[in-house]
């Protein structure tokens, strides 16, 4: 399978002229358990520090005779998908399906392909793709995007919970068997049916020198035929196509890229970054290199159509769990670097409205 680079991202351009191969992870099972323990301790410490800080701020605020807006009791908790009960997962699935059955609000002169409220979010992402990736806008824009989706689930479809996230390293050895992709009634649908295939070859766009990059194949490649989103229709795309182009959801979930880009080492390295610019470059990847970052690596872990498409990836329900984890990691990093301004967004690129 050969994918045109421009439909994905400038991330994959490189300076060499030969085909580059992604190397497999060399993290052992013993390493994984040790790193897992470290991650658990670090995230627990961050959480305790956040609560302590909020308690202190609440006390100072009350002493001034002001009612605090944010306290430990007012915090909401986004949870890992596998930690939800079957009943809670089913409630989330039903809310997503509800959005897929509500009529679109996108005007026809903007997109003829938007047929549902779910599609509305895909259209917004397509329209903004070129200005919200590989820039300092990336993390805050997607935080807002995730929040508006969460609010739509709650306000328009009666969902009582909050947006769950995909704990990448927890299922890295077999993501296709995780509660997200195992195809049971409480999942987000199964993997694509297995179709013998090579992994995608990513090519740079015209005018940019660089190598093609060979990614490993996943364990699916075909249509999703199991679970709540079996035979789901993807209506817009591929790429920046906003016309009506109905086709069935495909996935190519497998462990290879998850173990490289979404492992416990990645989580620890993200939290160690000393400033926002270094954080975002590790998180989103570095244009012109084979470093996909957890953002690109986990999109290609989902694979298929539209999960591996930079423009239309929100059309796969798994997108929202992936970006739930992206936002969680940024929140943890922000909390562990309290002296860094929350408005420090290095790498902002200005663009004229289209």
Which residue ranges make up each domain of the chain? 78-337
The string of pLDDT tens digits covering residues 245-283 is 999 999 999 999 999 999 999 999 999 999 999 999 999
Question: Residue 348's pLDDT is what?
Answer: 54
- Quick check: 126 and 237 in contact, CB under 8 A? yes
Mean pLDDT of the chain: 89
The 8-class DSSP code of residue 83 comes to G
pLDDT of 9 over the 50 cut: no
Question: Residue 18's pLDDT is what?
Answer: 58
The residue with greater pLDDT, 80 or 353, is 80
78-337 CATH, one of 3.40.640.10, 1.10.150.20, 3.30.300.10, 1.10.1280.10: 1.10.1280.10
Out of 3-12, 98-107, 166-175, 213-222, which region has the weakest mean confidence (pLDDT)? Answer: 3-12
Task: List all residues 6 or more positions away from 228 whose beta carbon is below 8 Å from its beta carbon.
Answer: 93, 97, 185, 187, 188, 189
Question: Residue 30's pLDDT is what?
Answer: 72
The residue with greater pLDDT, 238 or 288, is 238
Out of 20-24, 38-42, 295-299, which region has the weakest mean confidence (pLDDT)? Answer: 20-24
- Quick check: 189 and 181 in contact, CB under 8 A? yes
pLDDT band at 351 (very low <50, low <70, confident <90, very high): very low
pLDDT band at 201 (very low <50, low <70, confident <90, very high): confident
Q: CA nearest 236: which of 111, 148, 320?
A: 111
Task: Give the CA angle between residues 38, 40, 44 to the nearest 5°.
Answer: 120
The string of pLDDT tens digits covering residues 53-87 is 999 989 999 999 999 888 888 899 999 999 999 99
Cα torsion at 116, 121, 125, 127 (round to 10°)? 60
Task: State residue 195 phi and psi, 5-degree precision.
Answer: -130, 120
Q: What number of residues does the chain have?
A: 354
Question: Residue 210's pLDDT is what?
Answer: 60
- Quick check: 177 and 193 in contact, CB under 8 A? no
Q: Helices (H) and strands (E) in the chain — how many of each? A: 9, 8
Mean per-residue pLDDT, 287-310: 90
95/97 Cα distance (integer angstroms): 5
- Count of beta carbons in the 10 Å neighbourhood of residue 337: 17
- Quick check: 212 and 19 in contact, CB under 8 A? yes
pLDDT band at 52 (very low <50, low <70, confident <90, very high): very high
Question: Residue 338's pLDDT is what?
Answer: 86
Whether the predicted model's global pTM rises above the 0.85 cut: yes
- Quick check: 346 and 169 in contact, CB under 8 A? no
Out of 7-16, 135-144, 196-205, 206-215, which region has the weakest mean confidence (pLDDT)? Answer: 7-16
State how far the alpha carbon of 92 is from the alpha carbons of 101, 124, 191, in Å.
Answer: 15, 22, 19
pLDDT of 352 over the 80 cut: no
pLDDT band at 350 (very low <50, low <70, confident <90, very high): very low
Cα torsion at 327, 328, 330, 336 (round to 10°)? 160
């Amino acid at each position: 399978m050969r994918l045109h680079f421009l439909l994905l991202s400038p991330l994959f351009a490189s300076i060499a002229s030969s085909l580059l191969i992604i190397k497999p992870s060399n993290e052992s099972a013993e390493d994984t358990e040790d790193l897992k323990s470290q991650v658990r301790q670090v995230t627990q410490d961050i959480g305790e520090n956040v609560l302590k800080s909020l308690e202190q701020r609440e006390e100072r605020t009350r002493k001034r005779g002001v009612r605090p807006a944010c306290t430990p009791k007012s915090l909401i908790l986004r949870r890992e998908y596998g930690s939800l009960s079957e009943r809670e997962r089913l409630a989330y699935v039903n809310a997503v399906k509800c959005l897929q059955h509500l009529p679109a609000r996108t005007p026809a002169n903007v997109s003829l392909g938007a047929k549902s409220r779910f599609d509305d979010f895909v259209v917004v992402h397509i329209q903004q793709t070129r200005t919200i990736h590989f820039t300092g806008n990336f993390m805050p824009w997607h935080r807002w995007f995730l929040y508006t989706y969460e609010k739509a689930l709650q306000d328009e479809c009666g969902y009582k919970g909050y947006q769950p996230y995909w704990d990448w390293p927890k299922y890295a050895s077999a993501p296709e068997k995780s509660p997200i992709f195992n195809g049971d009634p409480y999942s987000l649908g199964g993997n694509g049916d297995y179709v013998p295939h090579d992994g995608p070859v990513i090519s740079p766009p015209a005018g940019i020198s660089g190598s093609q990059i060979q990614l490993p194949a996943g364990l699916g490649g075909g249509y999703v035929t199991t679970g709540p989103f079996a035979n789901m229709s993807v209506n817009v795309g591929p790429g920046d196509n906003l016309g009506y182009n109905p086709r069935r959801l495909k996935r190519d979930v497998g462990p290879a890229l998850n173990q490289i880009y979404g492992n416990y080492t990645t989580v620890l390295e993200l939290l160690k970054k000393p400033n926002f610019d270094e954080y975002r470059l590790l998180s989103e990847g570095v244009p012109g290199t084979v470093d996909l970052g957890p953002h690109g690596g986990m999109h290609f872990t989902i694979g298929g159509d539209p999960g591996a498409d930079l423009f239309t990836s929100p059309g796969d329900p798994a997108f929202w769990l992936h970006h739930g984890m992206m936002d969680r990691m940024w929140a943890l990093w922000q909390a562990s670097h309290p002296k860094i301004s929350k408005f420090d967004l290095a790498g902002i690129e200005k663009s004229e409205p289209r």
